[in-house]
Amino acid sequence: MVEFMTIMSVAHEVVAEDPTKISPNMDDDEAEVAPEKLQYQGPSPDEVTLVEFARARGYSFIMSNDSVAKICVKQEQEKEANSLLT
């Protein structure tokens, strides 16, 4: 389940927009991101819905570029993932 949720949160063409970002000149890596405040835009409503579903389950898509995709995983899911691995 952990792998499925991780893939759902990164395998898409959705873009995350942070309406609370103070400075438009800040790099994504420099800014503090509140996953619950991100708004998602995508080529289809289905893709946006899947990303929002993953966020509701604790796997929040933050940003991506050609070489990296960044997600934020809530602590409860991290503990579950660790217990499944041991």
Can you give the residue range of the structural domain that contains 79?
A: 2-85
* Two structure tokens written together for 74: 């809530």
How many structural domains compose the chain? 1
pLDDT classification of 32: cutoffs 50, 70, 90: low
From 6, 9, 2, select the one nearest 42 (Cα to Cα): 9
For the segment 4-21, what is each residue's pLDDT rounded down to a tens digit? 888 878 888 999 988 766
What is the arithmetic mean of pLDDT over 17-30? Answer: 60
pLDDT classification of 86: cutoffs 50, 70, 90: very low
**pTM metric for this prediction:** 0.70
pLDDT over 60 at 40, yes or no:
yes
